[in-house]
Amino acid sequence: MAKNTICAIFMIVLVLGMVIKDTQGQELCHERFIGETLCVPAQCAEQCTAKWGERGGKGTCLGGPGTVNTCLCTFKCQI
């Protein structure tokens, strides 16, 4: 019975360690593209995907479409 308990505790610690390792480095980074014209959501998304697609880059216009000239890219800091 003691062997089973020790084995179960060991497995729990092992699984928790793996989960913590997998979630590290998942912080999000941001990059802003400031243009001379108003931000267009489709172009913003395309620009971010082209630059940060391998890190899951997504682009959104700050302040909503057509209100500002800043495109904000959000992507994972590390792969």
Tell me the residue range of the domain where 50 lies: 2-76
Q: What is the pTM of this model?
A: 0.60
DSSP string of 24-44, one letter each residue: TT--EEEEEEE-SS---HHHH
Give residue 60's pLDDT: 92
Indicate the number of domains in the chain.
1
Give residue 67's pLDDT: 62
Q: Does residue 12 surpass a pLDDT of 80?
A: no
Give residue 37's pLDDT: 84
